[in-house]
Amino acid sequence: MNAPVPAFSTDASAGTSVVRVTTAAPCARLSLRARGELGPLEAALGLDLPRRIGARAEVGETEVLCLGPDEWMLRGPEAVAPTIRAACDEVYKTHPMSLVDVSGREVTFVIEGTSAAELLTLGCPRDIDRLAVGEGRRTVFDGATVVLWRDATDRFRMDVWHSFAPHVFDLLATGCRELAAEAA
């Protein structure tokens, strides 16, 4: 009746000659919500927060993606999370905001190859070709909320909650096989 959810292997991968899916190494992910004057927050973080939804910025190994008018996702090496939290703690005294470490909530799939964009169309209603290189969006993939980062014409990252990862990965792996069969 209540079967346990099997653990998702963080080294899962699937691939063919046209597209492959791998699991990225863990990273720091911080969800930031803030309104009003963002200058003090940007100064503390050492980066400019993009204002256009879907726009990305990066400084060193830290990336930030604008997900909404007052919402950003910050990503970077795991070691950067305490530094970001400390910087925001100082600003919070005069500029209330919400900063939540969501690092343990998600897994990232790297999808790359000549058919990477086509693979994503199997479960994503968004027109993948309209997602420009260097941008990102929150969307859905077969009913699961995901965040897509487009790193190159043929390379994407997909952040998905751990609880949906087995389902999303299985669908991506099936799609890899289907695209390889079509290419043969």
Q: How many domains does the chain have?
A: 2
Q: In terms of pTM, does the model score above 0.95?
A: no
Pair 55, 40 in one domain = yes
Strand partners, 13: 22
> Among 77, 103, 129, which residue terminates a domain?
103
String of DSSP letters for 113-174: STTHHHHHTTT--S-GGGS-TTBEEEEEETTEEEEEEEEETTEEEEEEEGGGHHHHHHHHHH
Domain membership of residue 4 (yes or no) is no
- Using alpha carbons, select from 174, 167, 162, 159 the residue that is nearest to residue 119: 174
Give, in order, the Cα–Cα distances in Å from 94 to each of 3, 48, 88, 90, 100: 48, 19, 10, 8, 18
CATH no. for residue 91? 3.30.70.1520
Same domain, 109 and 177: yes
Q: Which residue has the tokens 């256009």?
A: 52
* Domain range enclosing 32: 28-103
The pLDDT of residue 120: 97
5 falls within a domain: no
pLDDT (0 to 100) of residue 3: 46
Task: Give yes or no: residues 76 and 110 share one domain.
Answer: no
User: What SS3 class is residue 45?
Assistant: helix
In a domain, 1, yes or no: no
**Of 103, 133, 153, which residue sits at a domain end?**
103
Kindly indicate the confidence band of residue 90, based on its pLDDT and cuts at 50, 70 and 90. confident
Question: What average pLDDT does this structure show over 8-26?
Answer: 83
d(CA 61, CA 74): 10
